[in-house]
Amino acid sequence: MKPAANIYLIGLMGVGKTTIGKQLAKALQWPFYDSDRVIEECTGVDIPTIFSYEGEEGFRMREQTVIHHLSALQGIVMATGGGAVLMPENRAAIKENGFVVYLHCSIDKILHRTKHDTQRPLLRTDNPRQRLQTLLAQRDPLYTECADFKIDSGVLPTKTVVKTILQQYQAALEDHERIASCTK
Ligand SMILES: Nc1ncnc2c1ncn2[C@@H]1O[C@H](COP(=O)(O)OP(=O)(O)O)[C@@H](O)[C@H]1O
Ligand SMILES: O=C(O)C1=C[C@@H](OP(=O)(O)O)[C@@H](O)[C@H](O)C1
Ligand SMILES: [Mg+2]
């Protein structure tokens, strides 16, 4: 992690990356970016439209470009899309440029939170529970590989989740400074 690093939020759809990310950025008085919103602003269309014209592959290319460009910034909070960790380039960018927080919660909670959602094409299926279970099995090792810190965002109030992430980030910064001063 770089001293003036960014904070990245990763995890499955619906765990609260966007929601928690906004609150974290507010607490730090840092700019907030949501890679999905940036893609929508750049293309002028929503995520389902990108999936329908370009497929998931096209969306992943756009996502990679956005994460690459935003990772050149310092002192930002970024909520990534749930599948951002699939691309090795994205995993390298977030690990290299920031403190990575893996948000997780139960599939039941995610289903409850996303039951009226129309903006997540991967959940538009007859069996969203099965889809989420499959995605979690594929992605959990990737989330774990990238994460500096993992926290359940399904049980604690968001305020507590934000406070805990800030404490962990501060502790990581202090460790980094201690190690740097020992190796001078
Ligand atoms: N801690 C929470 N408690 C209750 N609802 C939440 C919480 N965090 C997020 N949500 C709701 O769940 C949905 C998904 O949250 P979002 O932040 O968009 O997740 P993600 O970005 O990880 O997909 C939104 O409707 C949001 O309002
Ligand atoms: O898990 C995924 O592959 C996706 C998650 C979505 O973002 P959220 O995790 O913010 O819902 C969005 O990037 C897109 O629909 C694909
Ligand atoms: Mg989001």
Q: What is the ipTM of this complex?
A: 0.98
The pLDDT value recorded for residue 177 is: 80
77 three-class SS = strand
Asked if residue 36 has its Cβ within 6 Å of ligand 2, the reply is: yes
At 1, list the tokens: 């992690």
pLDDT band at 28 (very low <50, low <70, confident <90, very high): very high
pLDDT at residue 127 tops 60? yes
* Domains of the chain by residue range: 6-182
154 Cα nearest atom in ligand 1: 1
pLDDT at residue 7 tops 90? yes
The pLDDT value recorded for residue 1 is: 62
Asked if residue 165 has its Cβ within 6 Å of ligand 1, the reply is: no
Dist CA 107 CA 128 (whole Å) = 10
Dist CA 174 CA 56 (whole Å) = 40
Asked if residue 98 has its Cβ within 6 Å of ligand 2, the reply is: no
pLDDT at residue 26 tops 70? yes
What mean pLDDT do residues 86-108 have?
Answer: 98
The alpha carbon of 4 and the centre of ligand 1 are apart by a number of angstroms equal to: 28
pLDDT at residue 180 tops 80? no
Helical residues (DSSP H) of the chain, grouped into ranges = 17-28, 35-43, 47-70, 88-97, 107-114, 128-146, 158-182
CB 1 within 8 Å of CB 128: no
Dist CA 118 CA 133 (whole Å) = 19
Between 63 and 177, name the one with better pLDDT.
Answer: 63
Q: What angle do CA 6, 29, 161 make, to 5 degrees?
A: 70
- The crossing angle, in degrees rounded to 10, of helices 17-28 and 158-182 is 60
Nearest CA to ligand 2 atom 15: 120
Dist CA 162 CA 166 (whole Å) = 6
Ligand nearest to the CA of 14: 1
Q: Looking at domain 6-182, what is its CATH homologous superfamily?
A: P-loop containing nucleotide triphosphate hydrolases (3.40.50.300)
Nearest CA to ligand 2 atom 1: 82
Asked if residue 18 has its Cβ within 6 Å of ligand 2, the reply is: yes
Around ion ligand 3, residues with a beta carbon closer than 5 Å are: 17-18
